[in-house]
């Protein structure tokens, strides 16, 4: 077996948010460690000695997608009961579904379905909420390992304002997390644990404190929800009276950038909270379909970018209904265009900006992921857009059309850290 591979295709990626790098009939060299060695418009610029050569012809080669906020155990509720308001939806659909994950067999059937769908749509890395159940969460991590796809997977911490069968006391939460940490917390592993308090209203101060201590002790990343809707913000203010803002309620427990942190939604984030996120390098997981479906509002992504905040995109099923991150790109642009309609000073997001957000910006949460620059993990998709009449369009318009009009049928190869990812077992 050769150590090095060189792929030829029309290569498109974003080094910077303001523009695409486009290499027509370009080449990318990938080492045995799955990292990019070099990318070039001509073969002569790369050291091709002893390399295996793979020609993708007229196809597009782009970085793979990253889903920065998703609830794997909600796969069964995808596209269901969207007419309900948030509270009856949580009580009648979300929580009862999560309770089923006490059954490892149910969990396996659904988690395989979930990972298969992510695979279909070319999502190679995710920040994932599991459930409170340690065994099901371990299984989810094992299934990601089996698939070869990258994920930060959280056993969800929650002990208040939720059904009793989903509430776990603080000691059990710590123990369950430590089991998973012992098993999975290896440097550079594709599948790793992430500390996951559901959100402030679901966690007592003791549980939030325990979460912060776990994150600090094991230097683990953190994920949760932040400022998704206005009544939630008021609720948090009421629960955590000493906090100066919702973000501060996490910050006080060491859950807001003390280790790498990603917060979903941030629809209503501004002022002090925004400043704190910037200072602490907390990443926003922008979930536009979910924000529409749950009547949350429209997150001010342009403002986040202008302030230098880190941003990625999330599907957030089943608040969101779609696991296709490409459609999330179009939704993110559309949300930004509604802000632009209200105030022309808030320029809407361009295609290169959302592409960069979804790939290199989001990918930075996992390490060097989301670009084809040397040293980056080779996470990639090969797009065969023959049905979209590629001969009639420029390469960038081909990419744009794929993003707006394409679907999983056009993704013909998927790579995660250099390894081709074949269809996971359902």
Site of interaction with a second copy (CB under 8 A): 76, 78-83, 113, 289, 292-298, 321-322, 330, 333-334, 337-338, 340-341, 348, 350-351, 389, 392-393, 397, 400-401, 403-405, 407
Instruction: Please report how close the Cβ of residue 79 comes to a second copy at its closest, in angstroms.
Output: 3
Instruction: Please report how close the Cβ of residue 233 comes to a second copy at its closest, in angstroms.
Output: 14
If the CB atoms of residues 326 and 415 are measured against a second copy, the closer one turns out to be 326
Instruction: Please report how close the Cβ of residue 265 comes to a second copy at its closest, in angstroms.
Output: 13
If the CB atoms of residues 234 and 405 are measured against a second copy, the closer one turns out to be 405
> Is-contact 382 343, C-beta < 8 A?
no
SS3 for the chain is CCCEEEEEEEEEEEEECCEEEEEEEEEEEECCCCEEEEEECCHHHCCCCCEEEEEEEEEEEEECEEEEEEEHHHHHHCCCCCCCCHHHHHHHHHHHHHHHHHCHHHHHHHHHHHHHHHHHCCEEEEEEECCCCHHHHHHHHHHHHHHCCEEEEECEECCCCCCHHHCCCHHHHHHHHHHHHHHHCCCCCCEEECEEECCHHHCCHHHHHHHHHHHHHHCCCEEEEECCCHHHHHHHHHHCCCCCCHHHHHHCCCCCCCCCEEEEECCCCCHHHHHHHHHHCCEEEECHHHHHHCCCCCCCHHHHHHCCCEEEECCCECCECCCCHHHHHHHHHHHHHHHHHHCCCCCCCCHHHHHHHHHHHHHCCCCCCCCCCCCCECCEEEECCHHHCHHHCCHHHHHHHHHHHCCHHHEEEEEECCEECCCCCC
Of 281, 299, 399, 394, the C-alpha closest to 349 is 299
Instruction: Please report how close the Cβ of residue 77 comes to a second copy at its closest, in angstroms.
Output: 9
If the CB atoms of residues 65 and 333 are measured against a second copy, the closer one turns out to be 333
If the CB atoms of residues 368 and 401 are measured against a second copy, the closer one turns out to be 401
Instruction: Please report how close the Cβ of residue 190 comes to a second copy at its closest, in angstroms.
Output: 27
If the CB atoms of residues 268 and 378 are measured against a second copy, the closer one turns out to be 268
If the CB atoms of residues 243 and 334 are measured against a second copy, the closer one turns out to be 334
If the CB atoms of residues 177 and 227 are measured against a second copy, the closer one turns out to be 227
Instruction: Please report how close the Cβ of residue 301 comes to a second copy at its closest, in angstroms.
Output: 14
> What is the rounded CA–CA span in Å between residue 421 and residue 120?
11
Instruction: Please report how close the Cβ of residue 400 comes to a second copy at its closest, in angstroms.
Output: 6
Instruction: Please report how close the Cβ of residue 351 comes to a second copy at its closest, in angstroms.
Output: 6
Burial of 341 (0-12, 13-18, 19+ CB in 10 A): exposed
**Cα distance from N-terminal residue to C-terminal residue, the chain:** 30
If the CB atoms of residues 297 and 374 are measured against a second copy, the closer one turns out to be 297
Instruction: Please report how close the Cβ of residue 87 comes to a second copy at its closest, in angstroms.
Output: 14
If the CB atoms of residues 32 and 338 are measured against a second copy, the closer one turns out to be 338
Instruction: Please report how close the Cβ of residue 89 comes to a second copy at its closest, in angstroms.
Output: 13
If the CB atoms of residues 50 and 392 are measured against a second copy, the closer one turns out to be 392
């Amino acid at each position: 077996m050769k150590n090095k591979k060189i792929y030829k295709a029309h290569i498109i990626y974003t080094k910077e948010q303001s523009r695409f790098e486009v290499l027509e009939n370009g080449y990318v060299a990938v080492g045995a460690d799955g990292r990019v060695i070099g990318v070039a418009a001509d073969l002569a610029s790369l050291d091709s000695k002893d390399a295996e050569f793979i020609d993708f012809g007229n196809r597009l080669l782009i970085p793979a997608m990253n889903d920065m906020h998703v609830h794997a155990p909600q796969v069964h509720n995808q596209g269901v009961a969207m007419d309900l308001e948030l509270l009856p939806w949580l009580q009648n659909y979300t929580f009862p579904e999560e309770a089923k994950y006490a059954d490892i067999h149910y969990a396996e059937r659904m988690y395989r379905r979930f990972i298969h769908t992510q695979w279909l749509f070319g999502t190679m890395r995710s920040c994932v909420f599991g459930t409170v159940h340690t065994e099901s969460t371990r299984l989810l991590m094992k299934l990601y390992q089996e698939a070869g796809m990258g994920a930060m997977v959280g056993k969800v911490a929650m002990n208040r304002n939720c059904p009793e069968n989903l509430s776990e006391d603080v000691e059990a939460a710590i123990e369950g997390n430590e089991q998973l940490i012992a098993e999975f917390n290896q440097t550079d592993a594709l599948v790793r644990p992430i500390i996951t308090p559901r959100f402030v209203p679901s966690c007592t101060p003791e549980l939030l404190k325990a979460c912060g201590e776990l994150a600090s002790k094991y230097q683990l990343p953190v994920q949760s929800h932040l400022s998704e809707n206005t009544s939630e913000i008021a609720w948090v203010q009421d629960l955590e009276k000493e906090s100066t803002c919702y973000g501060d309620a996490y910050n006080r427990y060491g859950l807001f950038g003390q280790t790498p942190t990603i917060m979903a939604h941030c629809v209503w984030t501004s002022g002090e909270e925004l400043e704190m996120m910037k200072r602490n390098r907390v990443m926003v997981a922008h979930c536009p379909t979910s924000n529409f479906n749950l009547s949350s509002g429209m997150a001010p992504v342009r403002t986040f970018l202008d302030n230098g905040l880190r941003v990625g995109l999330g599907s957030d099923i089943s608040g969101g209904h779609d696991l296709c991150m490409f459609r999330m790109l179009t939704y993110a642009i559309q949300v930004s265009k509604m802000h632009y309609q209200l105030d022309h000073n808030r320029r809407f997001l361009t295609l290169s900006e959302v592409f960069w957000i979804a790939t290199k910006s989001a990918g930075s949460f996992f390490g060097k992921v989301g670009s084809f620059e040397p040293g980056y993990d080779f996470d990639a998709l090969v797009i065969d857009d023959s049905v979209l009449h590629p001969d009639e369009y420029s390469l960038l318009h081909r990419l744009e059309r794929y993003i707006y009009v394409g679907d999983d049928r056009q993704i013909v190869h998927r790579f995660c850290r250099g390894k081709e990812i074949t269809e996971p077992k359902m």
